[in-house]
């Protein structure tokens, strides 16, 4: 029977954990993505530490002896990645205290606007106090990674996780395929939207869902949360060969798209157009045809021009292009919306 146990991590001062950061995996599969804290939020955390406030618990998965040999690491962060990365960034001089920082132990001590190194030089005792702050780290030992993923989801129930972040915690073959697809150059180099809250995972999941729905039902379905979650659960285990096939199909189409789009392409600035482009490229590839970026750019320009025409005189505007423009703003995951936009752009090209 699987087990999961928790215990306080001993000697977990800031300086000790920083000195052992190379022993910590910060981005295990079940981890929520980092990089979304504002500068103000980072400054507030350091403020809380310097002023002796409690901070939320940090959870580490502690590896067994065999796992440490295999991983070359001792821990993986379950929850608290952004707190640790913020502390490390402050130590490494990547940001300073806020300009209105107040040191409550001694209001006459002016630390506002200071960096970690400034504090070390001007107020070494305060730097030692910061380094000695004991982080509330809870260790977790288990023989089943699925229990870690479940724990991560439960810990964040009170936090507004988005759909992609919750789905990422499911684990399994399809979630791994989503991560793999998100590493394609289309996402790492061509799209303009970032992956701060797993936006790339969300789009990669939609691409896979298109292939799954055609395979299962010979038609596409809504690319909404309910169907994405169902796919992740249905293909979690026991169907790896099918998942690999879907993954390979998607990757081939994305590799073709990579040859057409430029880096940080303005044509790929939003998630809403991605499924349309995917299906368009898939159709062209099946017919042995090629799409050029000039074609897509001219279509976008035509939509923008038509919008201006409609604003001045609706009767002289092209209705299909008005409809494409409208559908691009609302309900972009509805199958009827997808089909209609695909029809319009296909006929134009």
Band (pLDDT 50/70/90 cuts) for residue 1 is low
Tokens at residue 339, please? 């089909």
Q: What is the count of structural domains for the chain?
A: 2
According to the model, what pLDDT value does residue 32 have? 57
Model-level pTM greater than 0.75?
Answer: no
- Domain end (from 159, 180, 200): 159
Q: To the nearest whole number, what is the mean pLDDT of the chain?
A: 90
Find which of 49-63, 144-158, 167-181, 246-260 is predicted with most confidence, using mean pLDDT.
246-260
How much is the average pLDDT of 82-105? Answer: 93
How much is the average pLDDT of 97-116? Answer: 91
Band (pLDDT 50/70/90 cuts) for residue 251 is very high
How much is the average pLDDT of 140-148? Answer: 79
Band (pLDDT 50/70/90 cuts) for residue 263 is very high
How much is the average pLDDT of 231-252? Answer: 96
According to the model, what pLDDT value does residue 231 have? 96
Same domain as 22, residue 83: yes
Tokens at residue 331, please? 């309900």
Same domain as 332, residue 196: yes
Same domain as 282, residue 212: yes
Print the domain residue range for 284: 161-349
Same domain as 249, residue 117: no
Neighbours of 248 (CB within 10 A): 11
Same domain as 131, residue 205: no
3-state SS string over the chain? CCCEEEEECCCCEHHHHHHCHHHEECCCCCCCCCCCCCHHHHHHHHHHHHCCCCCCCEEEEECCHHHHHHHCCCEEEEECHHHHHHHHHHHCCCCCCCCCCCCCCCCCCCCCCCCHHHHHHHCHHHHHHHHCCECCEEEEEECCHHHHHHHHHHHCCCCCCCHHHHHHCCCCHHHHHHHHHHCCHHHHHHCCCCCCCCHHHHHHHHHHHHHHHHHHHCCCCCCCHHHHHHHHHHCCCCCHHHHHHHHHHHHHHHHHHHCCCCCCCHHHCCHHHHHHHHHHHHHHHHCCCCCCHHHHHHHHHHHHHHHHHHHHCHHHCCHHHHHHHHHCCCCCCCHHHHHHHHHHHHHHC
According to the model, what pLDDT value does residue 335 have? 94
Residue 158 has pLDDT above 60, yes or no: no
Quick one: what percent of the chain has pLDDT higher than 90? 64
Same domain as 124, residue 140: yes
b/e 18-57 (16+ beta carbons within 10 angstroms → b): eeeeeebbbebbbbbbbeebeeeebbbbbbebbeeeeeee
Residue 246 has pLDDT above 80, yes or no: yes
Taking the alpha carbons of 70, 72, 78, 82 in that order, is the dihedral positive or negative? Answer: negative
CA distances from residue 204 to 201, 208, 220 in whole angstroms, order as listed: 5, 6, 15
Top pLDDT among 120 and 197 is at 120
According to the model, what pLDDT value does residue 159 have? 56
Same domain as 106, residue 17: yes
Same domain as 325, residue 213: yes
Same domain as 70, residue 9: yes
Q: Are 126 and 50 in contact (CB under 8 A)?
A: yes
Residues in a beta bridge with 257:
none
Residue 102 has pLDDT above 70, yes or no: yes
According to the model, what pLDDT value does residue 212 have? 97
According to the model, what pLDDT value does residue 223 have? 93
How much is the average pLDDT of 93-117? Answer: 92
According to the model, what pLDDT value does residue 189 have? 96
- Domain end (from 138, 159, 180): 159
Residues 6+ apart with CB under 8 A from 144: 2, 3, 4
Same domain as 134, residue 38: yes
Residue 94 has pLDDT above 90, yes or no: yes
Residue 315 has pLDDT above 90, yes or no: no
Same domain as 218, residue 237: yes
Band (pLDDT 50/70/90 cuts) for residue 148 is confident
- Domain end (from 159, 180, 210): 159
**Phi, psi at residue 5, to the nearest 5°?**
-130, 150
Residue 34 has pLDDT above 70, yes or no: no
Top pLDDT among 150 and 20 is at 20
Same domain as 313, residue 203: yes
Q: What is the pLDDT of residues 179-238, one digit of tens each?
A: 999 999 999 999 998 887 788 999 999 999 999 999 999 999 999 999 999 999 999 999
According to the model, what pLDDT value does residue 154 have? 67
């Amino acid at each position: 029977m699987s087990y999961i146990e928790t215990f306080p991590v001993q000697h977990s001062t800031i300086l000790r954990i920083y000195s052992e950061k190379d022993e910590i995996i910060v981005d295990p599969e079940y981890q929520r993505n980092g990089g979304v804290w504002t500068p103000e939020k980072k400054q507030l955390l350091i403020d809380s530490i310097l002023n002796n406030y409690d901070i939320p618990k940090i959870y580490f998965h502690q590896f067994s002896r065999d796992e440490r040999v295999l991983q070359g690491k001792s821990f993986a962060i379950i929850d608290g990645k952004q707190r640790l990365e913020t502390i490390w960034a402050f130590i490494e001089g990547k940001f300073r205290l806020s300009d209105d920082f107040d040191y409550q132990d001694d209001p006459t001590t002016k630390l506002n606007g200071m960096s970690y190194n400034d504090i070390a030089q001007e107020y070494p005792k305060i730097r030692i106090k910061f380094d000695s702050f004991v982080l509330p780290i809870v260790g977790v030992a288990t023989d089943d990674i699925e229990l870690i993923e479940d724990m991560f989801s439960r810990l964040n129930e009170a936090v507004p996780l988005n759909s992609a972040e919750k789905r990422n915690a499911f684990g399994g073959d399809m979630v791994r395929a989503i991560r793999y697809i998100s590493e394609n150059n289309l996402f790492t180099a061509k799209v303009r939207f970032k992956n701060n809250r797993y936006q790339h995972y969300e789009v990669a999941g939609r691409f896979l869902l298109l292939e799954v729905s055609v395979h299962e039902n010979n038609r596409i379905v809504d690319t909404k949360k309910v169907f994405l979650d169902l796919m992740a659960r249905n293909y979690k285990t026991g169907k790896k060969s099918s998942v690999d096939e879907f993954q390979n199909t998607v990757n081939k189409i994305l590799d073709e798209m990579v040859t057409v789009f430029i880096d940080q392409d303005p044509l790929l600035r939003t998630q809403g157009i991605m499924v349309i482009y995917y299906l368009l490229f898939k159709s062209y590839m099946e017919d042995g045809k090629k799409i050029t970026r000039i074609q897509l750019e001219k279509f976008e320009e035509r939509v923008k021009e038509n919008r201006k025409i409609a604003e001045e005189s609706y009767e002289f505007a092209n209705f299909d292009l008005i409809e494409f423009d409208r559908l691009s703003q609302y309900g972009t995951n509805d199958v009827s919306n997808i089909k209609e936009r695909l029809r319009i752009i296909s006929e134009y090209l």
